[in-house]
Amino acid sequence: MKPRAYIGIDNGVTGSIGIITPTTTDFFSTPTVTRKKYTKAPAKLRRIDFPRLVTHLQEYTTRYDCVVALENPYTNKSRINATILAARSHESTLIALEYLGILEHNGNLKYTTSKEWQKKFLPRVVKGDGLKVASRTLGCCHWPQHCRAIQSQKDADGLFLAAYVMMETNG
| Domains recognised in the chain with CATH numbers | 4-170 (3.30.420.10)
d(CA 85, CA 48): 10
Kindly report, residue by residue over 73-121, the tens digit of the pLDDT.
877 788 888 788 889 999 999 999 999 988 766 679 999 999 999 999 9
Question: What pTM was estimated for this model as a whole?
Answer: 0.91
Cβ contacts of 152 within 8 Å, gap of 6 or more: 29
Kindly report, residue by residue over 7-27, the tens digit of the pLDDT.
999 999 999 999 999 999 999
Reduce the DSSP state of residue 6 to 3 states and report it. Answer: strand
pLDDT at 106: 67
Enumerate the β-bridge partners of residue 110: 69
User: How many CB atoms lie under 10 A from the CB of residue 133?
Assistant: 14
Query: Taking the alpha carbons of 95, 7, 143, 51 in that order, is the dihedral positive or negative?
Result: negative
d(CA 55, CA 133): 30
pLDDT at 85: 84
pLDDT at 138: 96
Residues, the chain: 171
